[in-house]
Structure 1
Amino acid sequence: MGRRAGKTSGVGDVVVLAALLGLAGGVVVPTTYGEVNGVELPTSFIGGAVFDRIYTFKGIPYAAPPVGDLRWRPPQDPAGWTGVRDAAQFGARCPQVVEMPFPPGSPLYELSGPFRSNSSSEDCLFLNVYTPNVASTADLPVMVWLHGGGLAIGSADTYPAEIPTSLNNVVMVTINYRLGNLGFLPTRDAETDGNVALMDMAKALQWVQANIRNFGGDPDRVTIFGQSGGAWGVSLLVMSPETRGLYRRAISQSGVAGLGASRRGDTAKTENLAASLNCPMDSFDDMMSCLRSKPAHDLLELDAPVPIVGGSFLPDADDLWDIMYKKQVNEVDYLLGTMDGEFSYGLLAAVPQVTADGLDRTVFEEILPAQLNFIAAQFPDGNVDNIVQPVIDQYMNPDSDDPIYTRDRFIQLMTDYRFTATTVLMAQAVAAHDTARVYQYEFQHHTTSVSPERPPYAKADHGDDLFYMFGIPLLRDDTGASWKYSFTQEERDLSLDMMAYWVNFAANGDPSDFTGAARMRDLVTWPRYMTSSQSYLKLDVTSSADVKIRESNMKFWNEEVPRLMGKDVIAVGDDFVVSTTHGDVRGSEFLTSSVVGNALFDRVFTFKGIPYAAPPVGDLRWRPPQDPAGWTGVRDVTEFGARCPQVEYPLPHPIYGEVLGSGGIASSEDCLFLNVYTPNVSDTANLPVMVWIHGGAWYFGSSSTYPAEIPTSLNNVVMVTINYRLGNLGFLPTLDDDAPGNFGLLDAIKALEWVQSNIQNFGGDPDRVTIFGESAGGWSVSLLVMSPMATGLFHRAISQSGVAGVPVAQKGDITLTQNLALSLNCSTDSYDDMMSCLRGLPSEDFLTLMAWPVVIDGRFLLQSPWDLMNHKFINRVDYLLGTNNDEFGLLLSVDFPFIDADGMTRAEFETNLPIPLQTIADQYWGGSVNTILQPVIDQYLDPAMADDPIYLRDQFQQLLMDAFYAAPTVMMAKAESGMLAVAWEASSRVYQYELQHSASVFSFRPPYVGVDHGDDLFFLFGIPLLCDDKGSYWKYSFTQEERDLSLDMMAYWVNFATNGDPNDWTGAARMRDMFHWPRYTSSSQEYLQLDVTSSADVRLRESRMKFWNEEVPRLMGEHVHNHRARADFSVGARETSCSLAVLVLTLAVSYLLA
């Protein structure tokens, strides 16, 4: 018996890696089916090994033998065992028609051949584990190897995973899977369809998920990798929704599944095989019964397997090319590449006409049609004759009959079409997913030292990468003192480099990231592949980066050839390039089919990190935003720009990360970016445009937080999300005439100017722009409605949980700025010197938490927000606005820790009330909080209930919600709806709501919490409609009613943005049967109670709204107006009070003379 921990003991005569090793010790590890006893393997035979010993566990069954009735069935669980199972020897190979061919003298074959299983058997579903550490807490990355062999030959025991495991912090697993007809024969069984080999791979990955931690591996960091046919298998798993969650990353070496495929139900191949074996054909069941009784060797053919599309394992598509072209792939990190001479030696043996003397031009043209057989299999509805001459024209100089030239061009075209083109197509497909990191390579080192038989024209041949990936150059001879093979030192370094790149990628998703690595290496940084840049690594003894590998040839195979074979093809990347006033931008596709339930569009286009203003740094800090610098060429906009500098805000629960998290985006003062999401990039689409202004109290948040691709995929709308300056950097008062504050709001105006100039090129209608935002974003929306500088830049507005009842400062009041300067050791004796000092400090010095005022600057803001609403001196726009029914339920109540399930005391109520009321007082000139303290208490507390802690808590939260959210919302609704129409303008249409449904996913909250601040974001951005990693189930446990509420809310909002009426479906992508939302008027004051079953009501908490909007201002010395204004400053002249008209005229003259 082997050891379970600590000491070793003999396990008998186990021959491992030939005479290099003597007896080895054992180690016992538990699995879900029983314990296994592996081998402790010394590594002295490996040069440079990091670990002096590793542990190997071979021949572990991961599925039951697929024999008898289980032939062509999904793999089943293996039988468990009692005691300890010996795992020192490989299990049997799967039946195959021939042995894996290796060229004479191949070191890979010489090394592995003696230790391969001596027999093949259908009882072959075994895997092998290699690990440097069997501690269940080791949490090493895991790499699961799928062997090559065209999915028809090969086995796991060929590959010496002991070597890379001894050199890196990684657990390696190699697996067998059914081959050829036994793995891919089409059937009519609903549970399999014929892809049983792929199901074997998935079954092995399930075993890894359940067991690998006991072998030192991390089940959350599993990478599948393979070469040739194994790389095909990897790519097919990446295409399968059934494998989501079983692995995190993928590596394809010299192979992406550009194969023929059968549609579900097409069993012609099976019937032909049955007929050749004299099986009855009258009944399909009888035919299959006959085939299941035949010996395995009767069923084997040496031909390319045919995966089945449209069934239970692979997506519904015409063929595999369609799956890649439509980007129906899993969102995983992917490293993939090819050799620069895949057909230059080994595979070229199938074309004897090619010799060292070259290839005759006439012979080239004669053999070419037969060599294009893979194209015929890929596109069965096309005619290969249509592409023969275009292939010749693409690769051949018509004036050249040089046989050497002809041979080299033939090798290149075979390499391109059989390997490189499909690799590029898959890279494009996966890179289209926002979070998937893709890395491409071409291996370019020609290994000559160990392959003297190769002709000099051969490049890096198919399979050469295996030597380096599996560390063959690092093997020592029997003495351990010399190298076993005559690789050069540069080639040994290349082997170490390649292993490091691969393991780094498996560990961290980035081949250049050495975090957790067993040792560092000085490697060339491998650039990430993007759909725009298409960067790749030339992997060689001296590696380098390049872009767009053989671009003309790739476009030929991936666009022109499919078109000639009958496919409807859009040029890769062409539809992503859009012109802006500052330069062209290239975005990416967001594929919705497996991410968003009920999506209307199978893809939307995203353009992220577009600069709308110059970086506000240096002397531009606390200046109005300036135009960004233009650029030449095409700018990549597939990644978000930096967030603006901010304080990090803790989230109360992980689910908030969907709409409030940072997304790992770095912060920088160079942050004035916006993002565009559109289902249609045609400049004639004329879709309504919705510009989102994020919340976060003006001191945290970013545009990257909000998944606008979800509502865009569900509605006919273009969405734009913007960053703007925050905190002290965005709202610090200054003495500068052109902008004495309000910089974050001026940024929003600059972004809206960009939208007016550019959005038509993204499919948007600049005459139907709606600004919308939540919390502080709602404040910003309302202030833009109040600002003459924003007139004409938008046409409708939506404020969610926020209308600008915010502190104000007069132009010239820089007390806050001076206090900040003193705290940062800047002198305040000279204003210019003080600002120069402040502009020289790092942005981190300004991340303080405080309430920033808006400045009445005479340009952006003519009066205080309360005055502008009171006098109805605002832009005339359609306005939809509302609140949640418990804004201070949980998220905002963190500032009041005394609020809890037990309620609060009367003393806590009265002691803490002045703190929030001071913010109310700051909205008025010269008012005192003491003036309103007792009236507030009288308004909200019933003396008979004043000692009930639950009642006190509920009333405290209600008054805060009313004061800060509901009352300003009602005041703005009355102001906008109170605008009298003039002859040339329609009156404003106003719609108010209160969201009253608390989602079921918030079960972690205290039961007294209603619809909290921010809950609306989940419904508006479609979080209930997100699918899980498999794309077949919902990601979160929202109810169906809540999914419907999300669809309803998005529809109301988009209808309003489209037509000014949330009930008007004109131009909508689809209809929904929704409650009719009544229009708010200053007389009726109707509003929508937005819920899973919505209803209407009137005059939201009327007496309390009058208290906050009329009585409190009077107490603070304001004169309250209740008349209707005739007009606003959006068009033409106004008829207002004389004093206000004089004020406007004075401000206008001041502006012109400034």
Structure 2
Amino acid sequence: MRLISRRRVPLALAAGLTLAACLTSPAVPAVASDAPKRPVVATETGLVRGVDHGDYQTFAGIPYAAAPVGPLRWRPPGPARPWPGIRDASQPGSPCPQTPNSEAHSGSTNEDCLHLNVTLPRTDRHRPLPIVVWLHGGGFLTGAGSSYDAHRMAVRGHVVVVTLNYRLGVFGNFGYPGLNGSGDFGLADQQAALHWVQRNATSFGGDPRNVTLAGESAGGMSTCTQLTSPSAAGLFAKAIVQSGACSVDFGKNAVYPGVADFSPWTSQAAVRSAGQQAATALGCPQPARALSCLRAKPAATLLSANQNFQQIAYDTPLVPQRPATALREGRFHRVPVLQGNTRDEMRAYVAPLQQQHPITTDSYRALLLDTFGDRARRLAAVYSPTAYGTPALAWAALNTDRAFACPTLTADRLLARHTATYAYEFADRQAPSLGYPQSPQLPLGAAHATDLPYLFDLGGRPASFTPAQNRLAAHMIDYWTTFARTGAPDRRDLPHWPRTPARAAAPYVQQLDTGPGGIHRVDGAAEHHCRLWPQD
């Protein structure tokens, strides 16, 4: 994970993953194959030739919207242009513009990036398959849909999986006074991709009436936000939110010492104000000409302002309310939701801090006092280095509870009042590290994003799993895809996963871990000391 700035908080929620471009797929081509291993499918804008991998097929780099370049920069996505002949769909398109990172080593300045990838199983079933549309993480600053090789999910779960790119940073979340769509261009891209799925799903053997929108980290936050967006109505029938509940919030010092409170959501007014400041810094200070001036700037120049645009805007037509408020008022789409987080989320944030500036007993006390003032003594008694092993582990546990675990339980409760909700916690503390820094004082455990290799081959490479972890991965795919098929993850051959009660006496979640009895119900509020972190 990469902490970019002490003043601006990058939600590098999926950064730190060593990802490369991965394969993408389909399975029931609407047009006969014209050559071995190269199936052809008809989409609304033209024919695409994918790759046959035996038990699954992939179609990569399919445009779902017009390239947002030139005068189309900072405009809602328009329709993709048709192409003549057969478009090669063996390789993914470019990631959207982003600075160099572990996922896109050289970064990207290519704005022609609104592409998606389809993976589908080879099947003799005649009924259309459920569809999972996956939104990548990366703190709204980095990432690409092509990094998630979904063939295990497609083959084992008998589902069609669609991964996609959406505009990021200054290209996806930019705002300016008078600019239509300010702050929500990336979300609008996601909806454009969902519309594409509705119109093209049957060509790939999918059922447009049975679409599950899913994502992790920034992708989970996007999914939760789409639950509250009026214009997303009818575009998906279920939702999976991983480490991105609408109630997630980062308090003072949570991500890095010296950083103030930070939310993944902000008002449109704040985004427009940030846009004015960025325009001045980029040499476009005159309001009447600012947008035309900025649209003439190279993408590489605009990336210098990227960190100022890492939040989703609300008070907009796309997102009328702050999503947490919408949940509290019951203003969201009534679709089944599967939602949860990892047991040790914030160890991924504390890991680079521990490598650069190790947390000692004295600095831990100072952090508590600076962050919580009069509450520091009470919190120190619960989150003591003695109880957790080291000051770094205690600080990570405290911030996991206040930023992720307890807010997610609150969101579970609010959702369950109105719709079928299923809560989980990924808890394999021996999970692959994903490249995070490690130290004896801070074993990573089930840190942020460590659940992803259990569902996807990140960068097209399978994780090095033990037999027990392979079984957990299979069970998780079974749960996820059963939910995508039926709206409930529970199935006879797996440990029972009950629905979250509308008025739960105790907030139980399904804990997902290895070993005999590793999958079982736990009291999430007790485990994460949620009495100390009231949300209402």
Is the structural similarity TM-score above 0.5?
A: yes
| Structure-1 separation of matches of 2:298 and 2:125 | 42
Task: For 2:521, give the aligned amino acid.
Answer: A
Residue 536 to residue 179, structure 1, CA distance change in 2 (3 Å)? same
Aligned to 2:498: 527
Q: May I ask how many residue pairs the two structures share in their alignment?
A: 482
Partner residue in 2 for 1:673: none
Q: Which residue of 2 aligns with 1:466?
A: 452
What is the CA-CA distance between 1:4 and the residue it aligns to? 5.8
1:859-913: CA deviation from partner (whole Å, max 9, x where unpaired) = xxxxxxxxxxxxxxxxxxxxxxxxxxxxxxxxxxxxxxxxxxxxxxxxxxxxxxx
**Structure 2: any 5+ residue segments left out of the alignment?**
1-27, 249-262
- 1:348 paired with 2:351, answer yes
Q: Does 1:397 align with 2:381?
A: yes
| Superposition deviation, residue 446 in structure 1 | 1.6
Aligned equivalent of 1:30:
42
Judge which range, 446-455 or 187-196, deviates more: 446-455
Q: CA deviation at 1:30?
A: 1.3
Q: 3-state DSSP class of the match of 2:451?
A: helix
CA separation of 1:448/1:546 partners in 2, compared to 1, >3 Å: closer, same or farther? closer
2:477 paired residue among 494, 499, 509: 499
- Equivalent residue in structure 1 for 2:410, among 417, 420, 425: 425
2:398 pairs with 388, 413, 419, which one? 413
- Offset of 1:217 from its aligned partner? 0.6
CA distance in structure 2 between the aligned counterparts of 1:428 and 1:31, rounded to whole angstroms: 41
| Alignment deviations for residues 260-305 of structure 1 (CA, whole Å, 9 cap, x no partner) | 5333344210011111111123x2x411111111111222223561
> 1:120, CA displacement in angstroms?
4.6
1:513/1:197 CA distance change after superposition, 3 Å:
same
What does residue 16 of structure 2 align with? none
Instruction: State yes or no: 1:441 paired with 2:424.
Output: yes
1:1053 is matched with which residue?
none
Distance of 2:496 and 2:57 partners within structure 1: 32
Return the offset for 1:152: 0.7
Give structure 1 stretches of 5+ with no counterpart.
Answer: 11-24, 43-52, 102-112, 370-384, 476-483, 515-521, 560-570, 572-1154
How far apart are the structure 2 equivalents of 1:206 and 1:70? 19
Question: Hey, what does 1:916 align to over in structure 2?
Answer: none
Q: Deviations over 1:493-532 (max 9, x none)?
A: 0010010000000000111147xxxxxxx31111111232
1:3: Cα distance to partner?
8.0
**Equivalent position of 1:361 in the other structure:** 361
- Say if 2:136 is the partner of 1:153: no
Structural mapping, 1:487-886, within 5 Å: 487-513=465-491, 522-533=493-504, 534-541=507-514, 542-550=518-526, 553-559=529-535, 571=536
| Partner Cα distance (2:106, 2:123) in 1 | 25
For 1:167 and 1:400, locate their aligned partners in 2 and report how far apart those are by CA, in whole Å: 43
Q: 1:329: how far off?
A: 2.1
Q: 2: CA distance between counterparts of 1:531 and 1:327?
A: 13
For residues 67 and 508 of structure 1, the distance between their equivalents in structure 2, rounded to whole angstroms, comes to 40
CA–CA distance in 1 between the matches of 2:316 and 2:434? 44
Q: 1:296 aligns with which of 269, 275, 299?
A: 299
Distance 1:543 1:136 in 2: 31
Displacement of 1:466: 0.9
Query: Structure 1 residues 391, 469: closer, same or farther in 2, change over 3 A?
Result: farther
> For residues 84 and 194 of structure 2, what CA distance do their matches in structure 1 show?
23
Cα 1:363–1:221 change in 2 (3 A) is same
Amino acid at match of 2:341: T
Which SS does the other structure have where 1:153 is aligned?
A: coil
- Per-residue deviation, 1:236: 1.1
Q: Determine the structure 2 residue equivalent to 1:1071.
A: none
Relative to 1, partners in 2 of residues 1:3 and 1:552: Cα closer, same or farther, differing over 3 Å? closer
What do residues 793-819 of structure 1 show as CA deviations (whole Å, max 9, x unaligned)? xxxxxxxxxxxxxxxxxxxxxxxxxxx
C-alpha distance in 2, partners of 1:211/1:142?
12
Work out the CA distance in 2 between the residues paired with 1:398 and 1:174. Answer: 42
Structure-1 separation of matches of 2:218 and 2:432: 27
Residue 268 to residue 470, structure 1, CA distance change in 2 (3 Å): same
The 3-state SS of whatever aligns with 1:550 is helix
Please name the residue that 1:97 is paired with. 99
**Of the candidates 157, 169, 174, which is equivalent to residue 158 of structure 2?**
169
1:313 aligns with 2:313: no
Deviation of 1:187 (Å): 2.7
Question: Quick one: percent identity of the two aligned structures?
Answer: 32
Q: Return the letter of the residue paired with 1:75.
A: P
Could you give the per-residue CA deviations for residues 130-175 of structure 1, whole angstroms, max 9, x where no partner exists?
0114899531110011011011101111111123212221000000
One-letter amino acid matched to 1:153? T
Aligned to 1:130: 119
Change (3 A) 1:262 1:420: same
Query: 1:828-879 CA distances to partner (integer Å, 9 max, x unpaired)?
Result: xxxxxxxxxxxxxxxxxxxxxxxxxxxxxxxxxxxxxxxxxxxxxxxxxxxx
Determine the structure 1 residue equivalent to 2:278: 273
| CA distance in structure 1 between the aligned counterparts of 2:269 and 2:216, rounded to whole angstroms | 30
Change (3 A) 1:188 1:118: closer
Q: Per-residue displacement from partner, 1:436-493 (whole Å, max 9, x unpaired)?
A: 2111111111226778974463311112111111167x97xxxxxxxx7642111110
1:171-212 C-alpha deviation (Å, 9 max, x unpaired): 000000000111001233464132000000000000001111
User: What is the SS of the residue equivalent to 1:26?
Assistant: coil
Root-mean-square deviation (CA, aligned residues, Å) is: 3.1
Q: Distance in 1 between matches of 2:350 and 2:142?
A: 15
Q: State the AA in 2 paired with 1:243.
A: A
Contact 1:4/1:27, CA 8 A, preserved across alignment? no
Is 2:383–2:394's contact at 8 Å kept on the other side of the alignment? no
Counterpart secondary structure, 2:347: coil
Aligned counterpart, 2:78:
76
Q: How does 1:974-1013 map to 2 (within 5 A)?
A: none
Report if aligned partners of 2:174, 2:275 keep a CA contact under 8 Å in 1.
yes
Q: Would you say the 8 A contact 2:49–2:87 is kept in 1?
A: yes
> Relative to structure 2, which stretch is displaced further, 28-37 or 541-550?
541-550
C-alpha change, 1:135 and 1:546, in structure 2 (3 Å) is same
CA distance in structure 2 between the partners assigned to 1:524 and 1:79 by the alignment: 48
The residue aligned with 2:238 is: 249
Residues 1:179 and 1:119: Cα distance change in structure 2 (over 3 Å)? closer
1:247 deviation in Å?
A: 0.3
SS in 2 for 1:73: coil
Matching residue's letter, 1:535: Y
| Cα deviation code 1:935-985 (max 9, x no counterpart) | xxxxxxxxxxxxxxxxxxxxxxxxxxxxxxxxxxxxxxxxxxxxxxxxxxx
The CA deviation at 1:32 is 1.4
Counterparts in 2 of 1:354 and 1:256: CA distance versus 1, 3 Å? farther
Give the conservation status (yes or no) of the 8 Å contact 1:72–1:196: yes
- The higher-RCO structure (CA 8 Å, 6+ apart) is 2
Name the CA distance, whole Å, in 1 between partners of 2:224 and 2:383: 40
- 1:307, distance to aligned residue in structure 2 (A): 1.8
Instruction: Please say if residues 154 and 161 of structure 2, whose CA atoms lie closer than 8 Å, have aligned partners that are also in contact.
Output: yes
In the TM superposition, residue 556 of structure 1 has moved relative to its aligned partner by: 3.8
CA distance in 2, matches of 1:320, 1:5: 42
| TM-score normalised by L of structure 1 | 0.39
Question: Relative to structure 1, is the Cα distance of residues 537 and 4 closer, same or farther in structure 2, using a 3 angstrom cutoff?
Answer: closer
Task: Give the number of the structure whose alpha-carbon radius of gyration is greater.
Answer: 1
Aligned-partner Cα distance in 1 for 2:330–2:447? 29
Q: 2:336 maps to what in 1?
A: 333
